[in-house]
Amino acid sequence: MPERPGRPASSRAEAELRLGQAGRVLDQSGCTILHVDMDAFFVAVELRQRPELKGRQVIVGFPEGRSVVLSASYEARALGVRSAMPMVTAMRMAPSAVVIEPRHGAYQEVSGQVMELFNSITDKVEPLSVDEAFLDVSGALRRLGTPLEIGALVRRQVEAELGITASVGIAASKFVAKIASTRCKPNGMLLIEKDRTVEYLHTLPVQALWGVGAKTLEALQRLGIFTVADVAATPVAVLSKTLGAGGRALHNLSWGIDPRPVTPVHVEKSIGAEGTFAVDTFDDDVLTKELLRLSHRVAGRLREAGLAGRTLALKVKYSDFSTISRSKAMGAGVDSAGQIYTGATGLLRALGTRPQSVRLIGVRVEALEPTSSAPLQLALDRREDNERNAEVVGDAIAAKFGTARIVPARLLKSARKDPGPSRPETF
């Protein structure tokens, strides 16, 4: 059940273990899946260094150009600020908010600590992003206690060891556990009993179901469907006629049917990054400079994950928001910025004359496999080997000194201004 503000954490946890919301003992049988989600993760990490901002409106993002909100404190969210919202809109909603530029290295470091903590609880951990994961604790019950006791333990350790808070949803399936963690945010815990899952789901609005975005919601509302109970009462044939193959899946979810297990081995299918320019541009120098920056970011992430990829993809979004992508096979696994940059600029040149100015550009490496098993591209030109070696040295420097990095001179800030990216990147 959600936490009650104003009560000590220990007594809250004890109450959660003893009683349900109706004053009865909760039935925890079969509820072995936890969804653990950090609360306003980027903001929480920043507040560890700036505790004086606790309780204030805080936004993490770049305060210029077309940047978007990466994270917002709950005080800012109360005013309508949301992740992925344009910063211009967010600042209009919360003009007094403190804006902090993101430090992705710090978030990745804390994310690693979070996942390490999860893995100390159970070996069945399925990360969803840097700050959330599913845990199957069925094998930990004898050692650590009931699901609610384990959930309380996770929350205590996250706060004590990492200085941030987490919300925990507990249920018999992944889908329902994620709903539970969402419904008890921030800093709460909610268990949805297996035998009462359908009863609980049917009290929720239809947008609580996975896959119900703005367009699907609009289509469902045209059918007179506004709640999960409405979906459950609608014939599958009607839903399928409107939503296609997704109709049956939505109907199953409305009845709490989600047999997917927690999958502990998560292999990334691709790693990429993209940037939106503050001013749309035709300038090849601006475009290739941004590709160089993105290539270094992607290569660093590949090496950090111990992965290499055989396919390179380029993404270009024009000023009218139309998007094109091109890809090429690399022959052997790549994990160096030099190889990625060479391939990406080649794909850009192959596009020929651009019909419009460019709003966004991105690069992605796909068909990933562990570096240990991926044959890396052998270079005839020793300069390519030297470049990769320099990048590896740069990785070591960054790991030891944090923000310090070796980068190409072309990426150092120059005195002249150019319409560079406003840096709402995909990581």
- The domain spanning residue 120 has which CATH number? 3.30.70.270
- Phi, psi (rounded to 5 degrees) for 190: -140, 125
Q: List the beta strands (DSSP E) in 65-188.
A: 71-72, 98-100, 125-129, 132-136, 166-171
> Residue 67: which pLDDT band, with cuts at 50, 70 and 90?
confident
- Phi, psi (rounded to 5 degrees) for 65: 55, -135
d(CA 59, CA 82): 9
Claim to verify: residue 230 and residue 125 sit in the same structural domain: no
Claim to verify: residue 289 and residue 398 sit in the same structural domain: yes
pLDDT of residue 268: 66
pLDDT of residue 370: 76
> Most distant CA pair in the chain: distance in Å?
73
Let me know: does 137 contact 28? Beta carbons within 8 Å.
Answer: no
Which tokens sit at 172? 């018999």
Give the residue ranges of DSSP H helices in 158-212: 174-183, 197-201
Pick from 141-150, 165-174, 287-296, 400-409: least confident? 400-409
In a domain, 423, yes or no: no
In a domain, 120, yes or no: yes
Claim to verify: residue 165 and residue 108 sit in the same structural domain: yes
pLDDT of residue 267: 58
Residue 47 CB coordination number (10 Å): 20
Q: What is the mean pLDDT of residues 345-350?
A: 94
> Residue 230: which pLDDT band, with cuts at 50, 70 and 90?
very high
Q: How many domains does the chain have?
A: 3
Radius of gyration (C-alpha) of the chain in whole angstroms: 24
Q: Which residue has the higher pLDDT, 212 or 164?
A: 164
Claim to verify: residue 134 and residue 31 sit in the same structural domain: yes
Q: Which CATH number fits the domain that encloses residue 287? A: 3.30.1490.100
Q: How far is CA 239 from the centre of its chain?
A: 29
pLDDT in tens, 236-273: 999 999 988 889 999 999 999 999 999 886 556 789 99
Q: How far is CA 58 from the centre of its chain?
A: 19
> Residue 401: which pLDDT band, with cuts at 50, 70 and 90?
low
d(CA 270, CA 364): 7
Question: Which position has the token pair 């193959």?
Answer: 245
> Residue 407: which pLDDT band, with cuts at 50, 70 and 90?
low
* Of 375, 376, 341, nearest in space to 361 by CA: 341
Let me know: does 250 contact 213? Beta carbons within 8 Å.
Answer: no
Let me know: does 279 contact 422? Beta carbons within 8 Å.
Answer: no
Q: What is the mean pLDDT of residues 22-38?
A: 88
284 is in an annotated binding site: no
> Residue 390: which pLDDT band, with cuts at 50, 70 and 90?
low
Q: Which residue has the higher pLDDT, 310 or 54?
A: 54
Instruction: Please state at what angle helix 41-49 crosses helix 104-121, rounded to 10 degrees.
Output: 110
In a domain, 264, yes or no: no
In a domain, 2, yes or no: yes
* Of 54, 87, 86, nearest in space to 73 by CA: 54
Claim to verify: residue 101 and residue 192 sit in the same structural domain: yes
pLDDT of residue 10: 36
Q: Which CATH number fits the domain that encloses residue 214? A: 1.10.150.20
Claim to verify: residue 327 and residue 375 sit in the same structural domain: yes
Query: Which domain does 293 fall in, by range?
Result: 270-411
* Of 194, 244, 196, 199, nearest in space to 219 by CA: 244
Which tokens sit at 231? 């979906």
Label the pairing between strands 166-171 and 125-129: unpaired
Residues 6+ apart with CB under 8 A from 47: 53, 54, 58, 73
Q: Which residue has the higher pLDDT, 18 or 195?
A: 195
Claim to verify: residue 191 and residue 311 sit in the same structural domain: no
Claim to verify: residue 282 and residue 326 sit in the same structural domain: yes
pLDDT in tens, 290-317: 999 999 999 988 888 888 888 899 999 9
In a domain, 397, yes or no: yes
* Of 364, 358, 345, nearest in space to 276 by CA: 358
> Residue 320: which pLDDT band, with cuts at 50, 70 and 90?
confident
> Residue 33: which pLDDT band, with cuts at 50, 70 and 90?
very high
pLDDT of residue 387: 60
Pick from 123-127, 243-247, 387-391: least confident? 387-391
131 is in an annotated binding site: yes
- Phi, psi (rounded to 5 degrees) for 317: -115, 125
Q: Which amino acid is at 243?
A: L
pLDDT of residue 427: 32
In a domain, 4, yes or no: yes
Claim to verify: residue 164 and residue 294 sit in the same structural domain: no
Label the pairing between strands 323-334 and 270-281: unpaired
Q: Which sequence positions are flagged as catalytic? A: 132
d(CA 40, CA 53): 14
Pick from 133-142, 316-325, 404-413: least confident? 404-413
pLDDT in tens, 353-365: 888 999 999 999 9
Does residue 419 carry a pLDDT above 50? no
Q: Which residue has the higher pLDDT, 423 or 220?
A: 220
Residues 6+ apart with CB under 8 A from 372: 306
Let me know: does 59 contact 94? Beta carbons within 8 Å.
Answer: yes
- Using the 3D structure, point to which of 192, 225, 254 is the last residue of a domain: 254
pLDDT in tens, 144-168: 999 999 999 999 999 999 999 999 9
In a domain, 424, yes or no: no
Q: What is the mean pLDDT of residues 60-75?
A: 88
Q: Which residue has the higher pLDDT, 408 or 276?
A: 276
Q: What is the mean pLDDT of residues 326-352?
A: 89
Residues 6+ apart with CB under 8 A from 37: 131, 132, 166, 167, 168, 169, 181, 182, 185
Claim to verify: residue 247 and residue 384 sit in the same structural domain: no
Pick from 76-90, 279-293, 367-381: least confident? 367-381
Let me know: does 94 contact 57? Beta carbons within 8 Å.
Answer: yes
> Residue 23: which pLDDT band, with cuts at 50, 70 and 90?
low
| Torsion angle, alpha carbons of 63, 67, 68, 72, to 10 | -20
In a domain, 265, yes or no: no
Claim to verify: residue 60 and residue 127 sit in the same structural domain: yes
The DSSP call for residue 271 is E
Let me know: does 97 contact 58? Beta carbons within 8 Å.
Answer: yes
Residues 6+ apart with CB under 8 A from 350: 326
Burial of 95 (0-12, 13-18, 19+ CB in 10 A): exposed
d(CA 245, CA 250): 9
pLDDT of residue 310: 86
Question: Which position has the token pair 């541009």?
Answer: 281
Q: What percent of the chain has pLDDT over 70?
A: 79
Claim to verify: residue 109 and residue 139 sit in the same structural domain: yes
Q: What percent of the chain has pLDDT over 90?
A: 59
